[in-house]
Amino acid sequence: MACFLVPTAEAAVVTAIRKAKEHKVPSSAGEVKASENVVSIEGESPVVRKLHWLTNMLWGGSALLAFEHIWHGEVAPWFPFLTAMNDPADAAEMFHEMSTVGVTMAVLITVVWGCMVAVTNMIEKRSEAQEESSAET
C-alpha cells in the first residue's frame, strides 16, 4: 500500500548524513578521489565512504517500488496521493503494512549493505596484507 515510504525515509536520512559527513571533512584531510560510486577521502572511515551504496540501493529500490504502487493504483497524482488515505480502515491497514513490510524492507537493505561493507573491508585488508608481504620479500 505504501511500504516503499519507509525505505524512502531511510534514504533521505542516510543521504543527509552522508552529505553532512562529506562537508565536514577538512581540506587538510587529504586528497579527494571521486570515482564511479565511491568518494574516497584519505582518513575517512570506510563505512562513511560506502554509504553511497546504501543510498543508491534505497533510492533505486524505492523508485521502482513507487512505480509498482502507481501501477496498482495505490498512489495517485492528487492529494492525499495515497488512495488508502481516503478510507480510515484502509489507512489503518496501510500503516500496519508500513510498520511490518516497510520496516523489514529498510532493515534487510541495511543488513545486506552491512554484509557488503564487511566483505569488501575484508577483501581490502587481505589485499593490503598481500601487498605488504610481497614488498617485504
Partner 1 sequence: MTLLITVFAAIIATIVWYKSCPKDEMKVGTLCWLYWGASVMWLVDALFEYAELKEEYFMPALEDMINDAFLGLAVVALGLIIWLVILMIRDPQGKIKAVLKRKTA
Which listed range, 13-21, 22-30, 54-62, 118-126, lies at the site for partner 1 (CB under 8 A)? 54-62
The 3-state DSSP class for residue 80 equals coil
Cell of 124: 581490502
Does the footprint of partner 1 cover residue 91 (CB under 8 A)? no
The 3-state DSSP class for residue 45 equals coil
Binding residue for partner 1 (CB under 8 A) from 5, 51, 58, 84? 58
Does the footprint of partner 1 cover residue 94 (CB under 8 A)? no
Phi-psi region of 65 (alpha: psi -120 to 50; beta: other; left: phi over 0): alpha
Cell of 59: 533510492
Which listed range, 25-33, 40-48, 56-64, 120-128, lies at the site for partner 1 (CB under 8 A)? 56-64
Run of H or E residues at 112 = helix 103-136
Binding interface with partner 1 (CB under 8 A): 3-4, 7, 36-37, 53, 56-65, 67-68, 71, 100-101, 104-105, 108-109, 112
